[in-house]
Structure 1
Amino acid sequence: MKLHLGEFEEIVLLLVAAHDNDAYGLSIANAIEKDLDRKVTLSSVHTALYRMEEKGYLESEVGGATNERGGRSKRIFKITSLGRQALESSRQTRNMLWDKIQKPSYNDL
C-alpha cells in the first residue's frame, strides 16, 4: 500500500513525530521557522494537521488550559502507526529516486 504525502505534509508529520506526544500547531510552526528557516502561517500548519488527522496519520486530544494561553487549551497531536507507515513510504520513495541519480566516477572529478 502506497501512502502519499505532500512535501509540507511530510515536514509537519516528521515534526509531530519528533515532538513525541507534545506537538501542537504553534510548536510545529515555530520548529519549521527555526529548523528549516522557512516562513509559515499558523493556519497552514493547522490545515495540514487536521487534513492528516482525517487521513488517519495523526490523532489528537485537547490538552489542559494554561495561564500562558489565557486559560485556553491546546490540541495535542501524535502520530499513528498509519502515519509512521506514510513516513516510511515517503522515505523509500525518496531513496529510490536518489538512487537513480548517477554518481560521478573518478574520471569525472
Structure 2
Amino acid sequence: MTTLKQTEQVVMLAILRKQPDAYGVSIYEELETRLTKAVPMATIYATLETLEKKGFIKSKMGEATAERGGRAKMFFEITGKGQSTLHASINALDRLRAGTKLAGAMA
C-alpha cells in the first residue's frame, strides 16, 4: 500500500472539494479556509508536482483569460489511482485512531 503524507492528503482533499475548478489559488483558499491557516503556495505547488509524478493527479491547461493577462490556469483532478490511494490512506488513519482518546482533547 502506498501511503500519503499529510500535506498530500489535504491537497488531494482540496482538489476533490474544488473540482472542476481546482487550480493553485482555489486549492490555497480551500486549505486556508478548512485548516484555518495558510499553507505556502510553494508547498502546494511542490505537492501538486509530486502527486502528478506519482500518477495520483493529472493537470490540464485551461483557456487563457484577459483578467490573468492572457495567461491560462492549470487545473487539477484526481486520477482513479489517486482516489484509491487517498481512500486507503484515510481509512488506515481512521483505523489507527479508532478507540483512542487524546488526553485533554475536547469532545
Partner of 2:7: 8
Higher Rg: 1
Q: Is the 8 A contact 1:57 1:81 kept in 2?
A: yes
1:24-43 paired onto structure 2 within 5 Å: 24-43=23-42
Greater strand percent: which structure? 2
Give the percent of matched residue pairs that are identical in Structure 1 and Structure 2: 34
* AA matched with 1:15: A
TM-score (normalised: structure 1) = 0.86
Q: What is the number of equivalent residue pairs in this alignment?
A: 101
CA distance in 2, matches of 1:65, 1:40: 26
* AA matched with 1:40: V
Worse-matched range after superposition: 48-57 or 15-24: 15-24
CA distance in 2, matches of 1:23, 1:3: 24
Gaps of 5+ in 2: 102-107
1:51-66 paired onto structure 2 within 5 Å: 51-66=50-65
Runs of 4+ in 1 over 3 A off after TM superposition: none
* Cα-Cα RMSD: 1.2
